[in-house]
Amino acid sequence: SKPVGDFVYRGDVIASRKAAGGFNFVKAPQTGNITHFDSKTGVITLQYKTSPIDFPAHVHGEVIELQAEESVTLRYEARRLDGSLGVGKDSSGTLYCVDNEAAIGDSDLKGKLIVCSFAPGLELLNSLKEKQIAGLICSSMEEKTLCGFIRQELGVINTGNEPLAYSILILGSFGKQAMSSSLWQELKAIEGKHAYLAPHTRIRAGVVRPFLDCQA
């Protein structure tokens, strides 16, 4: 028999009793933890212990559909910029644009999405951890810089849930190319506005592209 505290799946044998011709087995009617056993009555109590999980909306919008215990559908307006590669988890915050490393200085960047017009280096990426930013957006970045930040090789691209200090979205490609002046001006025009960064990227079957939704 299973002891109190054990986790069992539906159908697992949790107790047995010797009977004529063999044993009778008692199977768990549901998945959960064995929380109590009454030795007098033989009653076993199972309980599935759950921990609440928060799912931030990340956008300013309107709830248009609610399916109890399943999902919430939101409607919102935004300007979407598709990216090439993202890492980290979904994040959101106000946009803050910088055109050189010196512009960061002692600025309060906590909870903000930083837009770099240049390709950031590993030293800058690591220093931004202390700033507690929500995410970083750039046009390009050297592959070795990104791998150094996430501390692993990319391999088959299926990213978007790495436990990083903040998320990163590369809009263009690997390298050290500066952001185009037209895109930079477009993002500068909405600096201070709210944006949602979705980094999930999948290259193989069922391609998923990362994106930035800007709510001007």
Other C-beta atoms closer than 10 Å to the C-beta of 93 total 20
The confidence score (pLDDT) of residue 154 equals 82
Q: How far is CA 175 from CA 44, 115, 168, 182, 204, in A?
A: 61, 17, 15, 19, 22
Task: Check pLDDT > 70 for residue 167.
Answer: yes
Residues 53 and 73: their CA atoms lie apart, in Å, by 17
The confidence score (pLDDT) of residue 24 equals 84
Residue 1 pLDDT level (bands cut at 50, 70, 90): low
Mean pLDDT, rounded, for 27-55: 85
Q: DSSP alpha helices (H): ranges in the chain?
A: 122-127, 143-150, 181-189
Residue 68 lies in a domain: no
pLDDT tens, position by position, 153-165:
887 788 888 999 9
Amino acid at the residue 67: Q
Mean pLDDT, rounded, for 57-61: 95
Q: How far is CA 42 from CA 1, 110, 183, in A?
A: 12, 56, 70
Contact call for residues 215 and 59 (beta carbons, < 8 A): yes
Residue 72 lies in a domain: no
Task: Check pLDDT > 80 for residue 19.
Answer: no
The mean predicted confidence, pLDDT, of the chain is: 91
Residue written as token pair 């044998």: 13
Residue 150 lies in a domain: yes
Task: Check pLDDT > 70 for residue 84.
Answer: yes
**142/201 same-domain check:** yes
Total domain count, the chain? 2
Residue 17 lies in a domain: yes
Residue 2 lies in a domain: no
